[in-house]
Amino acid sequence: MAFENILVETIGKVGLITLNRPKAMNALNDALIDEVGAALDDFEANETIGCIVITGSEKAFAAGADIAAMKEWGYVEVYKANYISRNWDRIGRCRKPIIAAVAGFALGGGCELAMMCDFIIAAESAKFGQPEVKLGLLPGAGGTQRLPRAVGKAKAMDMCLTTRLMDAAEAERAGLVSRIVPSDRLLEEALAAAATIAEFSLPVLMAIKESVNRAFESSLAEGILFERRTFHASFALSDAREGMSAFVDKRKPGFKNR
């Protein structure tokens, strides 16, 4: 598939997707989200890729869903087309780890897209918000659900109801982002984190991702049971033999994703 709204690169074992609609602050239209889905399909099918980074520009990770496109739609169209679930949910279904590297605005669907990733690394310039209420809409790609899980009810309500933006420092304090880096080092830092992840055993990374995500879908007892079973299962991997042997032998492990 030829991409018109994103740039796609492979850097070692890392797949990089750059949202690329600079004239529209990377507003997320259907074509762009389809392209992100296709790029994820390629990276997931590629055995050599161990981690994916999604980033935007210096000014905007993404300023939300494309308002100009959305304004033409009615209820029947969005319901029949299964808008959002049809293609946006592809990001949440990715089994390989995904990092969002966010600089500038991450608003509305942009904030929601970042939250669909496994964690967010923010540039000092990052600004997060759910301003949909200004448009007569509510967040529709998980904002009312993922944001309170990340920052708590008070801040989520404040952001969704008043449209107040959260800067990088507050986002880190609140737990929305894992770390803040200088704006001119955002991509470098995100790619370094991704390269570290990609050196580990892929089936273990996938199981960790599943287990952490299970924490948001189940009781503590059920989540612990899920973790225990996946932990037990990891002993079936030759990578577990290799990792533990390498530690004992004081050498670097060579994981084979098996």
25 scored as a contact of ligand DAK (CB under 6 A):
yes
Tokens of residue 213, six digits: 């995500």
Restricting to residues 93-122, which ones interact with ligand DAK according to CB under 6 A?
Answer: 105, 107-109
What are 231's two structure tokens?
């932990």
CA–CA distances in Å: residue 105 to residues 45, 83, 239: 31, 23, 40
* CA distances, 66 to each of 27, 110, 154 (Å): 5, 10, 28
Interface size with ligand DAK, residues (CB under 6 A): 23
Q: Decide: is 64 part of the binding site for ligand DAK (CB under 6 A).
A: yes
Active site residues: 65, 109, 112, 132
Q: Please, which residues have CB within 8 angstroms of residue 133's CB and are 6 or more apart in sequence?
A: 160, 161, 163
Position 37 contacts ligand DAK (CB under 6 A): no
- Residue 133 near ligand DAK by CB under 6 A: no
Smallest separation, CB 69 to ligand DAK (Å): 8
Task: Note whether 78 binds ligand DAK by CB under 6 A.
Answer: yes
The reply to whether 166 sits near ligand DAK by the rule CB under 6 A is no
Burial 100-113 (b: 16+ CB within 10 A, else e): bbbbbbbbbbbbbb
List residues binding ligand DAK (CB under 6 A).
24-25, 27, 63-68, 78, 83-84, 105, 107-109, 131-132, 134-135, 137, 140-141
